[in-house]
Amino acid sequence: MNAAPTPPKAELHVHIEGTLEPEMVFDLARRNGIELPHESVADLRAKYRFSDLQSFLDIYYANMAVLRTEADFRDLAAAYLDRCAEQGVRHAEIFFDPQAHLKRGVPMETVIGGLHSALADSDVSASLILCFLRDESAESAAEALRLAEPFLDRIVGVGLDSAEVGHPPSKFTEVFARARELGLRAVAHAGEEGPPEYVREALDLLGVQRIDHGIRALEDPELVERLRRERIPLTVCPLSNVRLGAFAELSGHTLPALLEHGLLVTVNSDDPAYFGGYVDENFDAVRRELGLSTEQLRELAANSFRAAFLDDRRRDEFL
d(CA 310, CA 29): 37
The single residue of 192, 193, 201, 281 carrying the catalytic annotation is 192
Answer yes or no whether residue 136 interacts with ligand HPA by CB under 6 A: no
Answer yes or no whether residue 240 interacts with ligand HPA by CB under 6 A: yes
Quick one: 22 or 214, whose CB is closer to Zn ion?
A: 214
Answer yes or no whether residue 11 interacts with ligand HPA by CB under 6 A: no
Annotated binding site for substrate: 271
Quick one: 68 or 141, whose CB is closer to Zn ion?
A: 141
* Inter-residue contact 90 to 51 (CB < 8 Å): no
Of 11, 97, 136, 270, which lies in the binding site for Zn ion, with binding defined by CB under 5 A? 270
Quick one: 237 or 310, whose CB is closer to ligand HPA?
A: 237
Answer yes or no whether residue 161 interacts with ligand HPA by CB under 6 A: yes
Going by C-alpha positions, the residue among 246, 266, 270 that lies closest to residue 306 is 266
Going by C-alpha positions, the residue among 86, 79, 87 that lies closest to residue 16 is 79
Q: What residue number has its CB nearest to Zn ion?
A: 270
| Minimum CB–partner distance for residue 104 and ligand HPA (Å) | 16
Annotated binding site for Zn(2+): 13, 15, 189, 270
* Inter-residue contact 235 to 210 (CB < 8 Å): yes
Answer yes or no whether residue 271 interacts with ligand HPA by CB under 6 A: yes
Q: Which of residues 163-192 bind ligand HPA (CB under 6 A)?
A: 189, 192
Quick one: 188 or 310, whose CB is closer to ligand HPA?
A: 188
User: What is the Cβ-side half-sphere exposure of residue 48, based on CA atoms within 13 angstroms?
Assistant: 20
Other C-beta atoms within 10 Å of 49: how many? 10
Total residues in contact with Zn ion, by rule CB under 5 A: 1
One symbol per residue from 12 to 51: x for binding ligand HPA (CB under 6 A), - otherwise; what is it? ---x--x---------------------------------
Question: Does 192 participate in catalysis according to the annotation?
Answer: yes
Q: Which residues bind ligand HPA (CB under 6 A)?
A: 15, 18, 53, 60, 161-162, 189, 192, 240, 270-271
Catalytic residues: 192
Chain contacts with Zn ion (rule: CB under 5 A): 270
